[in-house]
Every structure is written in C-alpha cells, then in structure tokens.
Homo-oligomer: A and B are copies of this chain.
Amino acid sequence: MHSPELLKGTLQTIVLKVLKDHGKMYGYEITQHVKDLSEGRLLLTEGALYPTLHKLEAEGFLKTETIMMGKRVRKYYTLTTAGRSVAKERVSEFVDFIKTMSNVLQVQIG
C-alpha cells in the first residue's frame, strides 16, 4: 500500500479516467478494478468513493442508472459529455504535475 497522503486529490481523477476507459461501472466494481490495475497498491475506501461519486454526479459529470441484481441494488455510473471533458482535463493536469514534480525532485520517471 502507498502512503495514503499521496492519494489526496487524485481520487476524482482516478474515478473519471477509469469510467472513461471502461464505460458503465458501479461503485464496488470501481474499487476492484482500481485494485487490479494497481496490483493491490491502491485500495479505494468506501467512505471516500461513494461521496466522491455523489459529488461528481451532482456536478453533472456522471449520470446514474440503478438496477436490481436479484434483490441487491446496483448503481451504475457513466460519464456525461461534460464528464468526459473533465476526465481529459484532470488526467493532463496530473501528467503536468508529475513532470513538474520530477523536475523539483530531480528524478527520472518511466
């Protein structure tokens, strides 16, 4: 696991980009997908994920569709057009940040 401090500020970016790449997903699925992609290094907590999803929806970046799996509820999230645009912005913002940081820390990435 990574120092959780570093994760701060990246959660929205992660959620938006994963939804952009993978299409329709529900909350729990996002946590599992991120866990897989990160080989167990990034574990999204529910207490952080669900409020973030609600916030992104309220801001018009995600739209939802609730379905019943037998007796269990599942809430699928998809990017809106605005969401797709923000996803792109956030990712390039992150990449810029990394480039700046590698200058400041004098490290080679990749």
Contacts and interface: CB of A to CB of B under 8 A. Distances in A.
A102 B102 CA distance: 14
A9 interface: yes
Interface residues of A, number: 39
A42 B2 CA distance: 23
B3 A97 contact: yes
Contact of A18 (B7, B9, B95, B104): B104
A100 B38 contact: yes
Contact of A42 (B3, B34, B104): B104
A85 interface: no
Interface of A: 2-10, 13-14, 17-18, 21, 34, 37-39, 41-42, 91, 93-110
